[in-house]
């Protein structure tokens, strides 16, 4: 949920706040594991059986939706977004001018939301407080279609809330930075009455589920008895139990689980073995499998990817997919959701881990814990190369543009009948200078013909679309069935709408673009200097030549903390 200080409440599908256009970024690179003691290591396996993975994610309508039970602490994540323009006169601290508040599901609730986004059913077994925050959390969960019959309200125990304050220092054109986090919680174990109520709900929930995911952040809900009973009941019915463990010296509380997904430091602490170097990973992972009677252990290794050890003896290093890292929040939860969902659907552990690795690489590009849409993961799984990597349906494009906008990028859209002669190429180069991201829509000579669809017969014969996508100036080409330029503009709301002829812009379209603060730029392809900008009717730029946007030099990237304690 997003609460805007204009006085309106709105719920969005992908609730990510504004991320940094500039700021802390790091690219992960693929690394191969060297040979170490034990079994042979297969490194860099990032190409699982895509058809099986996509079927398991629910892209096949014939595939029955799996039902997963998510057990653990649910959290309400609250993000306070604002700008920082001055230092407080009361103390040497920045003053945050609050613009809006986002409220999202966190931890076990975020895991459940991620499972739901993958196409499976997700049901929660947890507790919330009898307070306003608990009501918000329950409402958000219900709106996402999560099963909340076993989300128990407990009087006298507050709903766990993590409140993050994020500010953008506009004067130095820096991106959003987290300034402070305030936690409201009671980490003591739940009382016996609450534990008994959870245990009563546990049996029927496991009976109805295909698998169980346990998200343990050590905030008092997962008592030793509840954990043991969860594992016992699931094993008795031969249903998998995948656990993202707490940071503790004692993993015996997870004895007999199907798989564990600890991070590097959790694995080190539980085994007493180093996980710093490649030769250490198979030893530590194998120790976990043998000591705690697991079928598999998947150790997440931040920049080094993941290491999977199976009871069969197979040992696999999965290299990272290179991404610009903005925020590692939620990456471990996405691994649990994706790995557990695919495992439950019958996908091989190594393939489930490979897909989870890709999902986590998408998550770290987001600001805050953000659900990865199924279509975005499907695009990453296809691993399209060449010009096809730029082609998007309108639905697929939505998630991509959200990410660009979070970084402060301006979006430009250009439509036309692109013959790709010298004049059209100059037109596209001009359009590229008007913003940060350029989307092209080829709608035919009459500006009303359908745009070809990926995979359809019309697209197969459209060499023009391939050539358009091959141009360096173009970032995306919209390819969808039956769309007109007006529909695309209304869907993506570009910051700049660029046209080659004034008459192609209807009065309604011009009014729509002006209404949300966008610009319309008209440029004659026959005259390099003839261009005019149409603003919102009050702009000083109305009717004057459009000028190139000023390019701001990026500051030196700041290094993120590569690993941080789970909390």
Mind telling me the catalytic residues? 333
**CA of residue 54 relative to chain centroid, distance:** 17
Strand partners, 77: 104, 162
Helix axis angle, 485-492 to 394-406, nearest 10°: 40
* CA distance linking residue 409 with residue 54, whole number of Å: 31
Q: Is 377 exposed, middle or buried (0-12, 13-18, 19+ CB in 10 A)?
A: buried
Residues 6+ apart with CB under 8 A from 173: 21, 22, 552
Strand partners, 413: 439, 497
H or E segment and range at residue 332: helix 331-344
Please work out, in degrees rounded to the nearest 5, the angle formed at the alpha carbon of residue 294 by the alpha carbons of 230 and 150.
Answer: 20
- What residue spans of 118-223 are helical by DSSP H? 132-143, 192-208
User: Sign (positive/negative) of CA torsion 455, 457, 461, 465?
Assistant: negative
Token pair of 270 as six digits = 């539980």
- Which three-class secondary structure state does DSSP give residue 384? coil
Is residue 260 within 8 A of residue 245, CB to CB? The reply is yes
Inter-CA distances, 159 with 1, 133, 166, 180, 478, Å: 17, 6, 22, 20, 44
Phi-psi region of 447 (alpha: psi -120 to 50; beta: other; left: phi over 0): left
């Amino acid at each position: 949920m997003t609460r805007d200080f204009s006085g309106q409440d709105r719920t969005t599908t992908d609730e990510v706040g504004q991320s940094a256009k500039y700021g802390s970024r790091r690219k992960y690179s693929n690394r191969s594991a060297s040979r170490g003691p034990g079994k042979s290591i297969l490194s860099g396996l990032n190409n699982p059986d895509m058809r099986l993975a996509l079927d398991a994610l629910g892209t096949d309508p014939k595939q029955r939706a799996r039902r997963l039970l998510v057990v653990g602490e649910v959290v309400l994540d609250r993000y306070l977004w604002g700008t920082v323009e001055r230092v407080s006169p009361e103390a040497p601290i920045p003053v945050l001018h609050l613009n809006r508040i986002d409220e999202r599901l966190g931890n076990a609730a975020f895991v459940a939301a991620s499972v739901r986004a993958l196409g499976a059913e997700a049901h929660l077994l947890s507790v919330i407080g009898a307070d306003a925050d608990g009501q918000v959390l329950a409402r958000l969960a219900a709106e996402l279609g999560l099963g909340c019959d076993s989300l128990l309200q407990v009087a006298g125990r507050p709903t766990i809330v993590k409140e993050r304050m994020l500010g953008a220092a506009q004067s130095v054109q820096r991106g959003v930075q987290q300034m402070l986090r305030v936690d409201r919680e009671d980490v003591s174990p739940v009382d016996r009455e609450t534990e008994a109520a959870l245990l009563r709900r546990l049996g029927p929930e496991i009976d109805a589920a295909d698998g169980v995911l346990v998200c343990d952040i050590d905030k008092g809900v997962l008592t030793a008895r509840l954990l043991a009973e969860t594992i016992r009941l699931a094993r008795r019915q031969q249903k998998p139990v995948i656990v993202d463990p707490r940071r503790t010296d004692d993993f015996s509380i997870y004895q007999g689980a199907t798989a564990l997904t600890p991070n590097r430091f959790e694995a080190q602490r539980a085994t007493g073995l180093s996980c710093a170097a490649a030769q250490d990973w198979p030893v530590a992972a194998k120790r976990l499998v043998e000591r705690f009677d697991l079928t598999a252990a998947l150790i997440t290794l931040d920049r080094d990817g993941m290491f999977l050890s199976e009871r069969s003896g197979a040992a696999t290093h999965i290299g990272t997919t290179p991404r610009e890292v903005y925020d590692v929040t939620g990456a471990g939860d996405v691994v649990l959701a994706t790995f557990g969902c695919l495992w439950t659907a019958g996908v091989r552990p190594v393939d489930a881990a490979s897909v989870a690795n890709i999902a986590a690489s998408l998550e770290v590009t987001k600001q805050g814990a953000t659900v990865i849409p199924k279509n975005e993961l499907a695009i990453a799984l296809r691993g399209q190369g060449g010009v096809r990597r730029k082609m998007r349906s309108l639905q697929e494009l939505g998630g991509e543009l959200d990410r660009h906008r979070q970084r402060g990028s301006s979006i430009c859209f250009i439509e036309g009948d692109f013959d790709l002669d010298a004049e059209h190429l100059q037109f596209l180069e001009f359009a590229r200078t008007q913003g940060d991201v350029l989307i092209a829509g080829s709608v035919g000579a009459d500006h009303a013909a359908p745009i070809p669809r990926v995979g359809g017969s019309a697209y197969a014969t459209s060499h023009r679309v391939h050539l358009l996508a091959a141009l360096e100036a173009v970032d995306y080409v919209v390819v969808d069935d039956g769309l007109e330029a007006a529909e695309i503009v209304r869907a993506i709301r570009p910051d700049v709408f660029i046209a080659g002829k004034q008459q192609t812009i209807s009065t309604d379209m011009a009014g729509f673009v002006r209404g949300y603060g966008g610009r319309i730029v008209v440029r004659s392809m026959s005259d390099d200097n003839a261009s005019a900008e149409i603003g919102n009717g009050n702009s000083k730029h109305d009717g004057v030549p459009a000028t190139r946007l000023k390019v701001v030099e990026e500051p030196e990237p700041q290094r993120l903390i590569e690993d941080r304690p789970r909390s």
